[in-house]
Structure 1
Amino acid sequence: MTSYEQIFNSKQTIEESLSPEEAVAAIAVVTAIADSTIEQIDPASLAGILWEFEVFAEYSEDEIIEIVDELIVIAADESIGALFNAASQALSDDLVWDGFAAGIIILLDEEELVVPQQKQAYLKKLQEALELEDDEAQEIIQEVTAAFQEAEDEDYLDDEEDIPVENYSDKVYESPLGNFTVPIPVDAQQGGKIQTQEGVVGFSDDFGTLLRIDYYPIPPEQLEELDSTEKQEYLRSIMVERYVPQAILYNLSDAEIKHTEYQENATLGYYYALVDMPNGSTISQHENNGNITRLNAYRGLISFIKDDFLYIISSQRSFFNGDTPDSIEEEAENIKESILEFVETIEFT
């Protein structure tokens, strides 16, 4: 990795000046080089990222590739520091945020939707060089990650497939990976549906039933490194820091985790969370004014490791008109028990 001093402490310059748009692209190029090497940069991939920026709306992808190619040549012939200085000088005030966003996207781990710890030092240096306040930088980071999450959600919806319950004559669902089978817990006569997507199957009906199984293969070497204490922290972090924020809190700003616990017994060690979801049920109701709103709901989620897979099993309790929730403790216990009963029907293979 290129030394950050060669970028941010360089006094070198280039003869030609850059346009403001080229300055945004140059920051992306500089960041890509800092994160790897010049030889490893793929101009087409970089151009594909930049093409999503509004500032490049009038450019064709081929034109952006040409710009990236020219900027890479400048970095190779002059220096990466000289290219950054040219970008810093040419970046107009209204494009500073775009420049910082370009740097974030290059560094972002698209699966975790975070900038990895080892890359945050560079991002801080870039922030300081662009004279951005901490709150401004954080806002840009949040906007970038939100855009990636929205794109991921759209991909999920595009890939999701609804399968009629009637298609399963034996009333048993089998995972495409062959890691589990489960009796289908919904009935076609009650509007039962099965939604599938890679790594996910959900069962729902018109009466508020929602049972969902998320499953992710875990590399054996990673499993071997987890002792009982590390396993508890692993399941907690997956649930509280990744799954719930991305799958629920991102889409429901008023949702809130109300209860968490870890349980270890002879057959299963699991982490459990209860999430309060105002207007977050999969069931909707008609208001007197004709509007349609979603019911309030609690969502319970249990995460555990079985064989070489991480599972997150979830269920919801919707509150119809007149329903009053019990205490959080009672609701948490009841929903947890219903999930565990569902887990008992799953045959892991």
Structure 2
Amino acid sequence: MSKYDRIFDSKQTTEEFLSPEEGVAAIAVISAIADSSIEEVDAEALATVLWDFEVFDEYSEEEITEIVYRLIDIAQADGLGALFNTASAALNDEVVLDAYAAGAIVLLDEDLTIASDKEPFLQHLQKALDIEDEEAQEIVQEIIAAIEEAENGNFGDDDVEIILVQDYGDTVYRSPLANFSVPIPVSAEEGGRIQTQEGVVGFTDDIGSLVRIDYYPIPPEHEEEIDSLGLEEYLQSILVDRYVPQAIFAHVPNAEVRYGEYLENTLNGAYYVLVDMPQGSTISKQEYNGNAKRLDAYRGLLTFINTDFLYIVSNQRSFFNGDKPGTVEQEAEMLKNKILDFVKSIQFS
């Protein structure tokens, strides 16, 4: 007999109907409750996790949150066994792997591993969903890789290369386009990593540091836009209207720009913003229910033009337990100065 028989061998039923997408969410809810209690489940945090799943592309985060609350109510009224039976009946071949992924992701700890006391439940879930061992392992590996990619600066979907600083073989990073070089701002002792893809390099470590450089050759049509709008409005539109929504808002739904400033006498004209990122840090803390939750963070971003390239340089400040941010103006000034100091270390070609 297993303590999970009450879930996976239950004969309980409910009169509630679930769609396939709701079935996926139900597996996540069941996984979150199985080894804890209903009271310990953070419905809004769980909804944020599910919002990143492709099967919920047509749902707003508010809609997913409402679904999670409804599923918790079903679990409380009819039991986890009834919720699982209804979810299992709702799942089709197109979403069953997503359901397993949703169950696995809530079991990951802050080190992105499945703790030994969580493994028996995941094995029972795998068996109940009729998923082969190799396929289940691949799903967990894909989840971890996706989280690592997102936590290391929200890089895009293109091929990303991650190199440990200790393995890089140099203290200076050189752009593959030969347009700049810069001393590596993170250390091997603190788990420093260099993450690169076309047009982007990010420097991260295990203590929450994030310094990132995006760089783009300026196309001819943008030169016309600069002439038409003027440099200040052009840089502002690039950063506030294009880059921040794609690179930050898409990954941190509650993020917002809290401060903006044009620096006319810096770098021949630069635009700077501060973005408030609730639960948007690149590092997480472990919650009392065993789930990992990202820390709150501020991110400063500075955009400017050097020769034929547009640059966006960003830096992050995470708020650990007990940390209290200063005023928006104070935080903006602090991060701005850190970015400007870093930019001074860049050698442009």
TM value normalised by structure 1: 0.54
Mapped partners of 2:195, 2:252: distance in 1: 21
Residue 190 of structure 2 is aligned to residue 184 of structure 1: no
Alpha-carbon shift at residue 341 of structure 1 (Å): 0.5
Residue 200 of structure 2 is aligned to residue 196 of structure 1: no
Cα deviation digits, residues 207-231 of structure 1 (max 9, x gap)? 1110000000013674377359611
Residue 238 of structure 1 corresponds to 238
Look at both structures and tell me which one has the larger radius of gyration over its CA atoms. 1
Mapped partners of 2:291, 2:254: distance in 1: 20
CA contact (8 A) 2:155 2:247 kept: no
CA contact (8 A) 1:220 1:308 kept: no
Mapped partners of 2:155, 2:294: distance in 1: 23
CA contact (8 A) 2:154 2:247 kept: no
Mapped partners of 1:275, 1:266: distance in 2: 20
Give the partner amino acid of 1:214. Answer: D
Give the partner amino acid of 2:269. Answer: G
Moved over 6 A (4+): none
SS in 2 for 1:226: helix
CA contact (8 A) 2:256 2:277 kept: yes
Residue 320 of structure 1 corresponds to 320
CA contact (8 A) 2:173 2:183 kept: yes
Residue 217 of structure 1 corresponds to 217
CA contact (8 A) 2:154 2:248 kept: no
- Residues 329-344 of structure 1: pairs in structure 2 closer than 5 A: 329-344=329-344
Cα deviation digits, residues 142-165 of structure 1 (max 9, x gap)? xxxxxxxx9xx9993451110121
CA contact (8 A) 1:273 1:300 kept: yes
- Residues 109-258 of structure 1: pairs in structure 2 closer than 5 A: 156-219=156-219, 222-223=222-223, 226-227=226-227, 230-258=230-258
User: Quick one: structure 1 residues 317 and 266, their matched pair in 2 at CA, closer, same or farther if it must change by over 3 Å?
Assistant: closer
Alpha-carbon shift at residue 291 of structure 1 (Å): 1.3
Once the two structures are aligned, what percentage of the paired residues are identical? Answer: 61
Mapped partners of 1:200, 1:156: distance in 2: 10
Residue 282 of structure 2 is aligned to residue 282 of structure 1: yes
Cα deviation digits, residues 113-137 of structure 1 (max 9, x gap)? xxxxxxxxxxxxxxxxxxxxxxxxx
SS in 1 for 2:230: helix
Cα deviation digits, residues 210-258 of structure 1 (max 9, x gap)? 0000000013674377359611111011111100011111221111110
Cα deviation digits, residues 19-64 of structure 1 (max 9, x gap)? xxxxxxxxxxxxxxxxxxxxxxxxxxxxxxxxxxx9xxxxxxxxxx
Mapped partners of 1:155, 1:263: distance in 2: 27
Root mean square deviation, CA, Å:
2.4
Mapped partners of 2:305, 2:267: distance in 1: 11
SS in 2 for 1:181: strand
Mapped partners of 2:161, 2:232: distance in 1: 33
Residue 306 of structure 1 corresponds to 306
Mapped partners of 1:213, 1:188: distance in 2: 20
Residue 269 of structure 2 corresponds to 269
User: Quick one: structure 1 residues 335 and 279, their matched pair in 2 at CA, closer, same or farther if it must change by over 3 Å?
Assistant: same
Give the partner amino acid of 2:320. Answer: F
Residue 20 of structure 2 corresponds to none
Mapped partners of 2:209, 2:301: distance in 1: 14
Cα deviation digits, residues 145-203 of structure 1 (max 9, x gap)? xxxxx9xx999345111012123333000000000000000101101000000000000
Size of the aligned set, in residue pairs, is 199
CA contact (8 A) 1:212 1:315 kept: yes
User: Quick one: structure 1 residues 221 and 196, their matched pair in 2 at CA, closer, same or farther if it must change by over 3 Å?
Assistant: same
Residue 342 of structure 2 is aligned to residue 345 of structure 1: no
